[in-house]
Amino acid sequence: MLSRFIPALDWGSNYDRSNLSGDLNAGITVGVMLIPQGLAYALIAGLPPIYGLYAALVPIVVYAFFGTSGQLAVGPVAMVSLLVATGVGELAPQGSEEYVTLAILLAFMVGVIQLALGLLRFGFITNFLSHPVLSGFTSAAALIIGLNQLKNLTGIPIPRSNSVFEILYEAGVNLGSVHVPTLIVGLGGMAIIVGLRKVSRRLPGGLIAVVIATAATAFLALDESGVAIVGTVPAGLPAPSTSFLGFSALADLLPIALAISLVGYMESIAVAKSFAAKHRARIDPSQELTGLGLANLVGAFFLSYPTTGGFSRTAVNDQAGAKTPLASLFSAAIVGLTLLFLTPLFTFLPKALLAAIVMVAVVGLVDVKEVRFLWKSNKTDLALLLTTFLATLLLGIELGILIGVGVSMLSFVYQASRPHMARLGRMPGSEAYRNVERYPEVETHDGVAIFRIDASLFFGNVEHIKDGLNGLLTDEPDTRVLVLDLYPVNRADSSAIHALMDIHRRLEERGVSLLLSGVKGPVRDAFERSGFTEAVGEDAFFMRIHDACHEAHRRMNTYLVGEVDSPG
């Protein structure tokens, strides 16, 4: 039972030593990758670079004990970093002590929210934020993240903004202010990273670019020519602290904390599930919430800002051979050693190089493939993606995600209120019944209509179902027996039962018999408790459509005989 809450007790006690070499190689590779990424993502979050390394230490260790993915690499990511800058930037000047304190408090709040949802087994909440909405939001945010690095890449004094148009306008107006040495450093760094990636994705392109750019800046004294550098980076592991705890800013931070909790978890669980499927492993969504929540919660006491699982590092982790969360512990050890002994080497690290790392990383977040896929497969989902994308670009990060969630929920409600329904006919020579619109060869019989409802019945869709049945009877006025196939129906609420009673009364008034097939136990119980079964009659229920249709034909023959024998 305890191993369900602390998965490390399970994989640790049953660790296969043959996985050690892969875990060690992956841990070192991702740890080396984490160092330049952590420094760069802290820059996106508006924090001193050292906080990116703090976020790459304790949260990783905590997740390794409480998470369920063997490949997921937790730590600072571009998306969450941007959300931190968006939310905290409205409350304090970037880089100030108050700003840092609020960013750490935000990690604590995100941890509490995610942990609470995880313990309540609320992992299912991600089902209500559709993939197209998340893709549209991520793509727009990636553009905002990348364009916000133009100031560091070019040396142009562009104010931080969530509006791409404002950033592009400022860049265009101040194009003559480009600092050429800064631009050369940034573009050179991008060329190194992209070039090495083409050679091999296992090469630590970011770290190699950091070493080259830092050495060149120090040797050529580029900082004296105006190239902005990181400056003094404090050495040592983060000491435990509770100084961030306070109640004055909780209400102001709550909206962005909820957004980060949701978006961060969505990004993480999507990545974790994709790699779990590859390795035929099992992911517990609610335990993932618990693991991420504890990672953020405990990390806050060690000066971490909000973190989550990221795709690029997870992909590298997997390619390098990670089989268990032990790989993450090795990555954390690399970051810890760097904090203890190597921070003085980052003094001359140019900020333009960090901007280059960010811009290369976020290019992969612009999901062009999803747009092409949805254009071919689902125009409704494409509309959701584009709506969220444009809302985020035009109105900003916070409104973008809110609008995305809103349209996602509206789409869900709309689709639930308009369930698929079908008129059925019998396949020749069989007892199978299929949609007459898809199988024109099916057999139908005058006076008998077979109707299938492909959804549970509830107050939101009963009117649509009634309209569908009314339309059927209007198109086929000679119908004398209606067979309702309710096998796809898993539940029926009180509004649905009232609607069925109303349908039954109207059918009786028109002289139409109602028969029902495939009614499941819970639905049958609801019918019996409400009196609907008594109103329709026990003899109106059948296990199979074929049996119901056999009875319908019998009744139809009886009706026809009575019609012939009637006087006049």
Q: Residue 159: what pLDDT?
A: 82
Number of Cβ within 10 Å of residue 498's Cβ equals 14
CA distances from 144 to 82, 149, 167, 206, 479 (A): 9, 9, 9, 21, 60
Place of tokens 């901007």: 355
What residue type is 277 in one-letter code? A
Give the separation between CA 114 and CA 404, rounded to whole angstroms. Answer: 20
| pLDDT of the residue at 520 | 93
Which helix (H) or strand (E) segment holds residue 208: the answer is: helix 205-220
Phi, psi for 75 (deg, rounded to 5): 160, -165
Cite the residue boundaries of each domain of the chain with CATH code 3.30.750.24: 421-565
Helix (H) or strand (E) holding 517: strand 513-517
Alpha helices, DSSP H, located in 120-204: 131-148, 150-154, 164-173, 180-199
If you search the block for the tokens 């004094």, which residue do you land on? 157
- What was the pLDDT predicted at 58? 96
Angle between helices 78-88 and 97-119 (to 10 degrees): 120
C-alpha closest to that of 55 among 6, 134, 111: 111
Whole-angstrom Cα distance, residue 487 to residue 455?
9
Q: Could you say which residues of the chain have pLDDT below 70?
A: 1, 126-129, 558-568
- φ/ψ of 226, rounded to 5, equals 105, 5
**What DSSP string runs through 326-376?**
HHHHHHHHHHHHHHHHTGGGGTT-BHHHHHHHHHHHHHTTS-HHHHHHHHH
* Per-residue pLDDT at 60: 96
Q: Which of 470, 527, 496, 487 is nearest to 417 (CA)?
A: 496
pLDDT for 100 equals: 95
pLDDT tens digits, residue range 300-347? 999 999 999 987 788 888 888 889 999 999 999 999 999 999 989 889
**Residue 277: DSSP 8-state:** H
Tokens describing residue 15: 């660790």
**Which runs of consecutive H residues, i.e. helices, occur in 45-155?**
50-54, 58-66, 78-88, 97-119, 131-148, 150-154
Helices and strands of the chain, counted as H and E runs: 25, 8
Q: Counting every residue, how long is the chain?
A: 568
Angle at 66 between CA 61 and CA 67, to 5 degrees: 95
Q: Which residues pair with 481 in a beta bridge?
A: 448, 513
Strand segments (E) across 286-331:
308-310
Query: Domain 421-565 sits in which CATH superfamily?
Result: STAS domain (3.30.750.24)
Please name the residues in contact with 470: beta carbons below 8 A apart, sequence gap of 6 or more.
none
Nearest CA to 471 out of 503, 500, 517, 433 is that of: 503
Cα–Cα dist 311/367, whole Å: 13
Contacts with 111 (C-beta within 8 Å, 6 or more apart), sequence order:
293, 294, 295, 296, 297, 298, 299, 300
